[in-house]
Structure 1
Amino acid sequence: MSAPTAEARAVYGRVIDPEATLPGGGLLDELRAELTLSRHDDGDEPAGGDLDALRQAAAAWSAAQALRFRELYDPLDAETRAVLARRAALACAPLSLMSGAWLQWLSSPGNADDPAVLGMLALYASDLGVGNPRASRGDAYLPVLRHLGVSENAVPAGRLAADQRIDDGHFRMPAVLLATSRRPDDLTAEILGADLCLREVGLLPALTLVRAELPAVTRWDVVDPATRHASARTGLELALAAVEGLSRRDGEDAAARIVVGFRWALQALREWTDRLCAELTAACDPAFEMAELMRQRAREGSAYHHSFALEGRPLAEWLGDCRTDPAPMLAALSRSRLVRPGRPDRSPLVNGLVGEGGRMFRVFSPEDLQVVRRWIGALSGPAEGTPPAGAALDAARPLRLTAWHHDGDGRPPKDLREAYHLLLNRTDDPAVRRYAKEYVHGWLGRSRHGLDDAGTPLPARWTPRGLRPWLVEMHDRHSEAFEQGSGQELPSREALVDSTVQLAPLTLIDGAWLKGFTDYAHASSEVGHSLFDTYWDELGNGEARLNHPLIYREVLHEMGVDLPPTASRAFAEWEGFRDASFELPVYWLSIGRFPQTFMPEVLGLNLAMELSGVGGTYRRARLALKKYGFSTGFVDIHNTVDNVATGHSAWAADAIDTFLSSLTAAQGAGALDAAWERVRTGYRSLNPPTGFRARQAARRATRHAMTSR
């Protein structure tokens, strides 16, 4: 393999974190420079900005490369085929395990009512297999690695960065794609262009070799990003629709940047595929993998074996030289008494020395021993001179993203209104992010105050029986309260309009507390898949007519209120809102940034939110809206989709049960009480106490968060 170029591997490991953020400034400039860098002048790609011509070129290139890999694979013996399948599967893992993840942040509370964004979200939801756990395209790839016995670093996918069997060059393209996903406000068009290229290419060419070796171990049609998955339309059709939607919205500039992203992806695929093909061709020679193994083991091995001589020289010295050139040592080893050329079963190197009583017991893994045996088996006889030792590949072109710090720290929001405006986007600066985390800590500190004495509806302890029985009981209480209050006077028209307007900063960001669960690591997980499904429902499943913020705007319009766009500064500064109307929305926007740090609290908040109106509040609101001739669509849709049997309330309860059951299995019962306390705090955080002591608790929690940064 190549000499290490840790940049791509390190970037991949960093940007795969669900709470990762990338600064603007110099790093954004570096990303843009990478995306616009042209490296192919061989005439195979059309010049200019003709997207259709580029699509045709990508499809033709993919077909030719698939044939190239099959022609490499077909003539080989079974053992060599298996070696190449294993190597190709590992090489494709950094990209394939995260298939579609670069789309994860394209939607945000500030653009959640934009039809173009809904098209992007539909594409992403399809990749995730929305509605089912572990149903993403990346999850479909995992059985391939498991069947080949190389999946030990595949879950979570961030572990791949530590897998030294995977050349650094195989991380380069996915590292760039995942880095762009953390700057969606700046690079949406380029992301969609690169994504379209990958759909047009379809199944990665090298995977045609793996599919030939393992035709039935997984659903290869799901691994192929161009195909249909969890949608009536194919991945390619959805990608085209997303590209067309953005081009309609943003015009020629977006169209040109889409081409930039497409061209970059095709060039990156060419470069990577050529290098992978060279690697697999070299690996047909057993000496190539043996040389790799020696390079990988040389550093630790050179600390030992000072007393064992190989051709008059300590083995430790030979191993020290292996870090740069293993050929001389392999030649000497092939001539030694440790090796019987062509006869691995008779060679002490892979028998007595590595057996239970041998001096090298467990030094080599079973996979390593297969490499050694294959090398010995390929030796035709006592070597004269130096046998082929697997020359190293040329180093992959390094990925140099170095500007990991902002040009400046920024400043925190001056008030709630500015915080609301700034937090609507995915990207931020360190000062805004600190503000958000401290705001959450303060809000939760207030929510914890007097928790055990407040009569919080959630039970004091969670049991393996789960929350479904409690959920049904709460629904009965809501219904009973509604019936008992049916004779109460409805609010006046003016009061109804005022409350509807004051709720707009909250309701127009419906689902904002779940935005962290759009991240690939959570969106298809056992705990997070239902939270993403809830988010997907809140935004209308990709359809503007079902989008909850748009439905709410229709009600406001009927009331004679036409608000500025949610993402605009004018919305946050609109004089018709009271400052207090931004307190809870800023909490939603803040906690949604930290899906891992505050996962128990988000789960509790989600349950409180989804259950809050079902059976009672929504029904009363419907009566008031109907009385004054306003549409009841918004409350009607929530009273159905939030239901406690098969709707969002049920999903919310199930997510908590899954989380706590998994926690108990992983950490034991001792971790349960603390986690349940946090879930209860999250539940109460929808409507925390407002008294003086509660406010004091909030200030203490905020100060503690500030001092423990």
Structure 2
Amino acid sequence: MPAFALPDTFVVAPLSASEFDPSAAAVAHEMIAAGPESVYHRLVGDQESEAVFLLARHVLNGFLGGVREPTDQDAGAQEADGIAERTAQVHRQISGMLQPLREAEPRVRDAVLAQRAPLALIGGCWLDSVSQPATQPSIVVNHLVRHQFVWRGEGNPRRGLQQLRGRALEDLGVFLPDVTAPDFLRRAEARPLTAWHGAYHLSLARLPTTFLPEVVGTHYVVAALGVDELLLGTRPMVVEADLRAALADYLALAPASVRSRLYAAVTRTLAMELEHVRLLADVAEWHAGLSLDAQVARIVARHAPFAGKQHRNVRVGGRPLTERFGDPDFDLAAFICDLRASPQLRPRDGGCRFLRAIKFGGPMFGIFDEQEAATFQRWAEAIAAGNPPGVELTPNTAGDDAAHALAEAIGALPPEVRLRAAAQSDDREFLHRLVNIENFPNTLALARARAEEGLARAEILFEHGGDGVLTDASWFAYSPSALNERVDRIYWDKLVNPYRPLTEIPDRDEVIFGQKTFALGSMIDGAWAHRIGATGRYTRRSDGMLYSIYADEMGRGDVTKNHITLIYRVLASMGIEVPHIRDTAFLDQDELPDHLYGFSLFQLSLALFPDSLYDEILGYNLGIEMFGLGTMRMHETQKLRRYGFDVAYEEAHLTIDNLSAGHARQSAEIIIAYLHDVAKLSGADAVSSHWERIWRGYASFAYFIEHELVAGLTRHESADVII
């Protein structure tokens, strides 16, 4: 049985095929048939469903299926410096193409910026869940965690990459809703090819372990090219030298087959960014070529569906306005010609009826925004000046040929997809599936059931939790002061004041066995929060605060400080060797006891639902971060030192989880910040239901820690049933 040894040189998932329930195939095909906008919206808005994992497989297969494999002549180009030079050449080419777009008239420039926004505002999404139990403590993944930590504003969402780009767009006059909003792509007037490109990036975010070579290649190219920085005039948050260092380390570790995949991804991503810049140029050219009549036609087309019965007495071209707009064969060009010649646009006393109607006090005030009203003003002035009509409505088809070809490729079933229903399995097999969830998305329903079952069971501690040795999950009404009081009481009464140094140290074998009982949970340290802060969800204070805790658990990208590195160091000091939990060989390990898998299975299941079980994760986080303090940790440290075993893992938690300003205190502050936002957005009455779910999450942690208490309550309940 191959044992895992540090450093972790992981470069790609050991499994390549993925299992899906047959029902997921129909859902994925329905989404693809609905078009690229539907695919984009589903990928950015859903990180929990099985169908989205399959949808991501489709998208990645469509983009990568026809990419040329490197030849022997490409050997030098596959090295980090060779890739950097290719990227620099494309950067120079793109810089020249973007310069005139930035300097275009505001109307055209804004259209270009809006067109790029569906990519700019999801920038870095491919790193959303690259750090996870299956990939840690990999050398390369920790490089990526460092970059992600910077891009996420070091735990402050307002300083994160996506928010900075959003503000840069607004500073330039482009205002768009959040990327998860139903009308985001419509407001950006995103071309189908733009939506497909965004879907590719979002698909990498869903499958980063299976497609890690593609993530690393895409990450380097997109960040090093810096299309969005060139367009927005912002500075890169991660410098090219740092990007290249991560790329070089990955290539040094990767076998030839993986290097070929990365090279292919680099080639594809360079081509995609060039393709999208050309699309932006085509969009700019189309907008620049619009006559004033055509610009007005676009405005009319946007508003015509909302024209109500109040317009029934208004006639244009001899027909009531409501009748014309309601005509299924509505001729927009003819309407603009008729409106041009109508009494509403006829110059009179330095103006016209239509312009007076859309100004303050007029019957149409507020219908058109400031930019639209300015367009109507210029149009009326041109008509008054005798400018001839120019209503040639040429559709915008930028990128449509490439988008159509992609749609065809994406629709095909990926070759490594297996359609089969998930079956109940033993704990070892279930753990393997949860760790490698990208390869077993059909297990998600079972994971949901496991999480919900554990949360429901834990509610018994709402009444009896005060009797816990290390926790107190008994119910109390929420207020910030009440939560802080409970946290302080648990800390002093249960974790610190009971501490007395051990006067007798168990024998060596007993100490080793004790560590084995904790080891499996430690191997997935931080897992409960590894999906927090995904693209479109990193806006609340609580998101940044909880992400910061996760980043700390992973050493903020320093692999030597990564907590999973530390637990493997401890095990190695005891002579305990096991495969990494991602490996199939772990199914056969005989070092760690079987009867304690439940804790890890629950935590991994909970982690897979960071949106729908967000409240519960906050409560669970409080429980697990406080568990790092006090008597238990100090006793374990004493035992380990007695036999010369590594104490790094225990010491790290005693310091970083401290109640003064560490993770334990931060975990309470996260809950307070989150519930403050709930009250502000939904009213004070909404807080109680969210609090109950949060405390249920805390109780679910306590349920696994308080073995004797839970066992006694279970025996008591069983006796009641028998009687």
**How does the TM-score come out when normalised to structure 2?**
0.82
Residue in 2 aligned with 1:702? none
Residue in 1 aligned with 2:199? 175
Alignment check: 8 A CA contact 2:158 2:539 kept: yes
Q: 2: distance between equivalents of 1:275 and 1:696?
A: 69
Residue in 2 aligned with 1:461? 477
Aligned pairs for 1:179-578 (under 5 A) are 179-204=203-228, 208=231, 210-211=232-233, 220-221=234-235, 224=236, 227-228=237-238, 234=239, 236-284=240-288, 285=290, 286-301=292-307, 305=311, 308-316=314-322, 319=325, 326-340=332-346, 346-352=351-357, 356=361, 358=363, 360-379=364-383, 381-382=385-386, 384=388, 386-394=389-397, 396=400, 397-398=403-404, 399-400=406-407, 401-402=410-411, 408-429=419-440, 431-455=442-466, 456=472, 460-465=476-481, 467-478=483-494, 480-483=496-499, 485-517=500-532, 519-522=534-537, 525-578=540-593
Q: 1: distance between equivalents of 2:474 and 2:110?
A: 50
* CA 1:404–1:611: 2 relative to 1, 3 Å: farther
Deviations 1:385-440 (A, max 9, x none): x4144522215324524479975243134111111111112415454101101001
Alignment check: 8 A CA contact 1:490 1:624 kept: yes
Q: Secondary structure at the match of 1:427?
A: helix
Alignment check: 8 A CA contact 1:105 1:518 kept: no
Deviations 1:583-633 (A, max 9, x none): 000011000001111111111111111111313221111111111121211
Aligned pairs for 1:621-660 (under 5 A) are 621-660=636-675
Number of aligned positions between the proteins: 660
Alignment check: 8 A CA contact 1:467 1:654 kept: no
Identity %: 22
Residue in 1 aligned with 2:39? 11
How far off its partner does 1:506 sit?
Answer: 0.9
Deviations 1:317-345 (A, max 9, x none): 6546898863332223222222257x997
Greater CA deviation, 90-99 or 487-496?
487-496
Alignment check: 8 A CA contact 1:446 1:694 kept: no
Alignment check: 8 A CA contact 1:142 1:154 kept: no
Alignment check: 8 A CA contact 2:144 2:246 kept: yes
Which structure has the highest helix share of the two? Answer: 2
Residue in 2 aligned with 1:675? 690
* CA 1:36–1:154: 2 relative to 1, 3 Å: same
Q: 1: distance between equivalents of 2:277 and 2:262?
A: 22
Q: 2: distance between equivalents of 1:647 and 1:496?
A: 28
- AA paired with 2:205? S
Q: Secondary structure at the match of 1:258?
A: helix
- AA paired with 1:684? A
Q: 2: distance between equivalents of 1:192 and 1:695?
A: 52
Unpaired runs of 5+ residues, structure 1, are 40-44, 212-219, 229-233, 699-709
Deviations 1:463-493 (A, max 9, x none): 144744543443333564344x335533332
Q: 2: distance between equivalents of 1:10 and 1:535?
A: 32
Q: 2: distance between equivalents of 1:325 and 1:188?
A: 51
- AA paired with 2:592? F
How far off its partner does 1:646 sit?
Answer: 2.0
Greater CA deviation, 274-283 or 490-499?
274-283
* CA 1:239–1:523: 2 relative to 1, 3 Å: farther
- AA paired with 2:211? L
How far off its partner does 1:116 sit?
Answer: 2.2
Q: 1: distance between equivalents of 2:559 and 2:67?
A: 38
Q: Secondary structure at the match of 1:527?
A: helix
Residue in 1 aligned with 2:604? 589
* CA 1:321–1:63: 2 relative to 1, 3 Å: farther
Q: 2: distance between equivalents of 1:140 and 1:319?
A: 41
Aligned pairs for 1:104-119 (under 5 A) are 104-119=128-143
Residue in 2 aligned with 1:706? none
Greater CA deviation, 328-337 or 455-464?
455-464
* CA 1:325–1:46: 2 relative to 1, 3 Å: farther
Q: Secondary structure at the match of 1:541?
A: helix
Residue in 2 aligned with 1:704? none
* CA 1:466–1:162: 2 relative to 1, 3 Å: farther
Aligned pairs for 1:691-706 (under 5 A) are 691=711
Residue in 1 aligned with 2:29? none
Deviations 1:259-295 (A, max 9, x none): 2222222222222222222222333344443232233
How far off its partner does 1:560 sit?
Answer: 1.8
Alignment check: 8 A CA contact 2:616 2:693 kept: yes
Residue in 1 aligned with 2:119? 95
* CA 1:351–1:452: 2 relative to 1, 3 Å: farther
Residue in 1 aligned with 2:22? none
Q: 2: distance between equivalents of 1:26 and 1:92?
A: 23
Residue in 2 aligned with 1:121? 145
* CA 1:336–1:25: 2 relative to 1, 3 Å: closer
Q: 2: distance between equivalents of 1:561 and 1:93?
A: 51
Q: Which of 132, 143, 154 matches 2:167?
A: 143
Q: Secondary structure at the match of 1:107?
A: coil
How far off its partner does 1:137 sit?
Answer: 0.7
Greater CA deviation, 255-264 or 242-251?
242-251
Q: 2: distance between equivalents of 1:6 and 1:354?
A: 40
Greater CA deviation, 127-136 or 607-616?
127-136
Deviations 1:103-162 (A, max 9, x none): 112222122122122222222222212232322110101213444565351265676235
Residue in 2 aligned with 1:701? none
Residue in 1 aligned with 2:60? 31
Alignment check: 8 A CA contact 1:416 1:583 kept: yes
Over the residues paired in the alignment, what is the CA RMSD in angstroms?
3.5
How far off its partner does 1:19 sit?
Answer: 2.7
Q: 2: distance between equivalents of 1:254 and 1:678?
A: 44
**How does the TM-score come out when normalised to structure 1?**
0.84
- AA paired with 2:710? T
Q: 1: distance between equivalents of 2:529 and 2:224?
A: 31
Q: 1: distance between equivalents of 2:572 and 2:392?
A: 75
Alignment check: 8 A CA contact 2:79 2:248 kept: no
Alignment check: 8 A CA contact 2:339 2:345 kept: yes
Q: 2: distance between equivalents of 1:311 and 1:506?
A: 75
Q: 1: distance between equivalents of 2:712 and 2:630?
A: 33
Alignment check: 8 A CA contact 2:58 2:413 kept: no
Q: 2: distance between equivalents of 1:344 and 1:326?
A: 29
Greater CA deviation, 656-665 or 157-166?
157-166
Unpaired runs of 5+ residues, structure 2, are 1-32, 69-73, 467-471, 704-708, 719-723
